[in-house]
Amino acid sequence: MDMPDLYTPFIIPHDTMQRHEEVQPVASDLRRDPHGRVFNDLDHQVRISNTDQIEVGTCLGEGNFGKVFEGCLFKKGEGAPQPVALKILFEPENNRKSTHQGFQTRLEAACTAYLTARQEVSILEGLSHPHIVPFMGLALRPLSLVLGLAPHGALDSVLKRLHGAGTYLPLFVIRQIILQVAKALAYLHSYNIIYRDLKSENVLVWDLPSSSDAKPDARVNIKIADYGISRTVLPTGAKGFGGTPPFIAPEILRFAGKGTYTEKVDIFSLGMFIFELLTCRMPFAEMNNPSSLVCQGGRPSLTTQEVQCYPTCLLDLLSVCWSQEPGDRPSAADENPEPSNSFSLDHFTHIRPAQVWLSSCTAGSTNALEILSFGPSCDTVIDHKTLLLRAVSITALCVVGNSVWCADTNGVIHIYSINTLTLINQLQLPVQACVSVLSLHQLPGKETVMVVASLTDCGIIFCCQQPHLELTDSEIGIEQFRVFRCYCSSLVPTDDGCELWLGQGSGSILIWNVTSQTSTNCLYHSLDPLPKSTCCFFLVAAKPLGSQHTFVWSYNFPGTVVYCWNASRRCIVERLDCSTIYSTVDSTILGSPQNPEGSQVTALNIIDQYLYIGNTKGRIIVADAITLQPLCLFPAHSPRDFYIKCILSISSRQDLVFEADQAARSKGIVSVGRGYVDLLNNGGAGVRKRESLAEQERIQSRPGDGMVNHTYVLSWSAENWEYY
């Protein structure tokens, strides 16, 4: 039976004839002549040429708008065929089955195919992103979208296979998938496009290690596909119903698509998608009508086993993404709530002993040097020595050749041999009053040690020559220079020597040239003057791994911001506000923007290409040293106002003692602080029983609880932070 002209029975006003000129022959053209004029307006680069050939292979799957087939595209003048995926939207009547469907059904199918093709082409032809499926063109025989072929199919089949085997995706794979999807969404949103159909079925896999023993640097590459219901959003928002329950946001469900919504609907879908990644199963898989529950604030639940598998902050990200109110959800392009900011290593962090020299006060107020040594594999303590001191405490240590210089509260520098751990010399600084030595720095290539000390009313810089056995104390040259009172210091290499950066009051930094032995500049963290009570409390200088430039990192107390300075340009290049890195679920453990007290910085260090920040709540933040992009957040020590005292590096070298001004290659880090979080036995903060805040404080303050009230040295594997 021949299909009549679509609009023959209707009388069309003359002024609307032009508008319907293209729509009129759609069904008949698609049925009789797929190369008709309905797509002639498209650019020739968008349409697959008549001289090209497409070979259709096996069916890969079927969606709401058509079937997807594997195929090959043979382009004239090019060599080997390209593997493609064909999303066939409509086929001409090549079999008698379609004739029994009725005219109206076939008419609707033809129009739907036309509209779908127009919709997806309008979205895809202007997009180019590494995590959006590549659009290769529109084929007219049969009417198909020609897309890049995913070698491993859709992600949902991978998750189903893992679920059937009772296994899960590795943590670093989950992280990479979330980051790549978030980047793709951010790209779409930057073009005012709302995706509206994020789910594992629409995420295609190019590379994906699913083995539990896969290495963290294994390649992960996914792309999102299917833009049939995507919409371009106006500044006032978008309308319309679309999506797959239960991935549809409540603001769409609540008004059946008639209300206005924003790109935050995609973030809700991202939350449900993260649930799929964590559990390898569909949200609300057993429910017939999940939309009603979603509108009421209901969310799918993780099993106890699943909760124990993942860090707290990953669960926090899940929670904040599927928030009921759109304003509570992060943006895909928002720097702070991005997944890379909120990953924890709770259950996956390996705790091991460490090698470090520490000044300690033992039982009975006896001062000592505690020396922990570990073997070549950096995972076993092979020796522990305690060197008792007289009624003094050590305030600063520094490696000088094969010795360790230790400065005490009386201004005496004790020099110990690294190899024999014996005292080989002592040096008295020329001070009459009580002095607090802040730091010691050996000048590169010289036998000179810079000692930065603070008195009650000023600061002093001592230039000390390394003592030799044949020299007496009176023959050892020590020069001293007075400066304003200091709180910290760091030795910064320059093209013509070195300079000391000295942290002072009002958040200022004094630069003291070592060669000329004079102050040359004063830097400020803000154009506006800071209160006198504000002091620059931490300064760390290093040339991060892979960088050709020296940077300096600083922190002002009180405050929550860490600054990164370009040392040669002497200007701030990046800032990181630690109060914005917080947990929305475990708020009694982490600080929040409303409670910045938990984000005061108590330790700062640069090791390899990473910046390590310890805070007053016992947490360690790991960030990229140059960009200050946060990578990880994990609990280390007791969360109830016990400071992390310091963060050091570990090396396989037997003679290594930490030196703050170096960013040497390291296998791990050491954190020193009160109490510790037993991640291996308790599974991390994310799986502890959530007692009330009062109950937690009572437990944390029990005098007999050694895990809280003692000082611990913890060692953490510190490789590949960016993959977790």
Contact 260, 237 (CB under 8 A): yes
Question: What pLDDT shows up at residue 1?
Answer: 36
Distance CA 163, CA 460 (A): 65
Q: Is 331 helix (H, G, I), strand (E, B) or coil?
A: coil
User: Domains in the chain, please, with CATH?
Assistant: 44-148 (3.30.200.20), 153-328 (1.10.510.10)
In the chain, the amino acid numbered 277 is L
Q: Which residue has the tokens 């799929």?
A: 276
Q: Is 27 exposed, middle or buried (0-12, 13-18, 19+ CB in 10 A)?
A: buried
Compute the mean pLDDT over every residue in the chain, rounded to the nearest whole number: 75
Question: What pLDDT shows up at residue 595?
Answer: 52
- Cα end-to-end distance, the chain, whole Å: 62
Q: Single out the residue of 391, 471, 386, 463 nearest to residue 430, CA to CA.
A: 463
CA dihedral 665, 666, 672, 676 (to 10 degrees): 140
Q: Single out the residue of 560, 559, 514 nearest to residue 541, CA to CA.
A: 514
Q: What is the largest CA-CA distance in the chain?
A: 116
Max mean pLDDT among 52-61, 87-96, 455-464 falls in 455-464
Rounded average pLDDT over 215-231: 79
Three-state secondary structure readout of 541-556: EECCCCCCCCEEEEEE
Q: Which residue has the tokens 């009002």?
A: 506
Question: What pLDDT shows up at residue 551?
Answer: 95
- 558 cis-preceded (ω within 30 degrees of 0): yes
Rounded average pLDDT over 337-355: 32
Q: What is the H or E stretch that residue 221 is in?
A: strand 221-224
Contact 535, 486 (CB under 8 A): no
Distance CA 435, CA 95 (A): 96
Q: What is the H or E stretch that residue 423 is in?
A: strand 423-428
Q: Which of 200-209, 344-353, 448-457, 542-551 is predicted least confidently?
A: 344-353
Share of the chain above pLDDT 70, in %: 72
What b-and-e string marks burial along 230-262, b requiring 16 or more CB atoms within 10 Å of the CB? Answer: bbebeeeebeeebbbbbbbbbbbbeeebeeebb
Band the pLDDT of 536: cuts 50, 70, 90.
very high
In the chain, the amino acid numbered 292 is S
Q: Which residue has the tokens 């920040």?
A: 613
Q: Which of 54-58, 107-111, 600-604 is predicted least confidently?
A: 107-111
Q: Single out the residue of 549, 559, 560 nearest to residue 625, CA to CA.
A: 549
Max mean pLDDT among 24-33, 226-235, 430-439 falls in 430-439
Distance CA 404, CA 198 (A): 58
Q: Which of 128-142, 365-379, 474-488 is predicted least confidently?
A: 365-379
Question: What pLDDT shows up at residue 215?
Answer: 79
Question: What pLDDT shows up at residue 63?
Answer: 66
Distance CA 550, CA 573 (A): 12
**pLDDT of residue 228 exceeding 90:** no
Distance CA 669, CA 648 (A): 5
Distance CA 661, CA 500 (A): 11
Q: Is 678 helix (H, G, I), strand (E, B) or coil?
A: coil
Band the pLDDT of 392: cuts 50, 70, 90.
confident
Q: Which residue has the tokens 């209160």?
A: 531
Contact 572, 563 (CB under 8 A): yes
Question: What pLDDT shows up at residue 541?
Answer: 93
Band the pLDDT of 29: cuts 50, 70, 90.
low
Rounded average pLDDT over 392-418: 86
**More reliable by pLDDT, 226 or 614:** 614
pTM over 0.75: no
Question: What pLDDT shows up at residue 200?
Answer: 93
- Which residues lie closer than 8 Å to 54 by C-beta, 6 or more apart? 48, 71, 72, 73, 74, 84, 86, 139, 144, 146
Question: What pLDDT shows up at residue 445?
Answer: 80
Band the pLDDT of 93: cuts 50, 70, 90.
low
Q: Which residue has the tokens 């996914």?
A: 222
Distance CA 705, CA 604 (A): 28
**pLDDT of residue 604 exceeding 60:** yes
**More reliable by pLDDT, 82 or 658:** 82
Q: Single out the residue of 167, 281, 287, 153 nearest to residue 222, CA to CA.
A: 153
What values do phi and psi take at 660, rounded to 5? -65, -25
Rounded average pLDDT over 474-478: 64
Summarize pLDDT for 544-581 with one digit per residue, the tens: 887 888 999 999 998 999 999 999 999 999 999 988 87
Max mean pLDDT among 288-297, 339-348, 405-414, 570-579 falls in 570-579
What values do phi and psi take at 607, rounded to 5? -135, 125
Q: Tell me if 87 is assigned to a ligand binding site.
A: yes
Strand order in the sheet with 711-717: 351-352, 711-717, 668-674, 644-650
The three-point CA angle 393-395-396 to 5° equals 135
Q: Which of 152-161, 358-367, 391-400 is predicted least confidently?
A: 358-367
Q: Is 473 exposed, middle or buried (0-12, 13-18, 19+ CB in 10 A)?
A: exposed
User: Can you read off the two tokens belonging to residue 561?
Assistant: 């911001």
Rounded average pLDDT over 411-434: 83
**More reliable by pLDDT, 633 or 624:** 624
Contact 462, 396 (CB under 8 A): no
Q: Single out the residue of 254, 146, 167, 147 nearest to residue 213, CA to CA.
A: 167
Question: What pLDDT shows up at residue 343?
Answer: 30
Contact 3, 24 (CB under 8 A): no
User: Can you read off the two tokens belonging to residue 442?
Assistant: 């050996």
| Beta strands 551-557 and 535-542, pairing class | antiparallel
**pLDDT of residue 231 exceeding 70:** no
Summarize pLDDT for 166-196 with one digit per residue, the tens: 888 988 889 889 989 999 999 998 888 888 8
Distance CA 276, CA 155 (A): 10
Summarize pLDDT for 302-322 with one digit per residue, the tens: 887 787 777 766 787 888 899
Contact 317, 272 (CB under 8 A): no
Q: Is 30 helix (H, G, I), strand (E, B) or coil?
A: helix
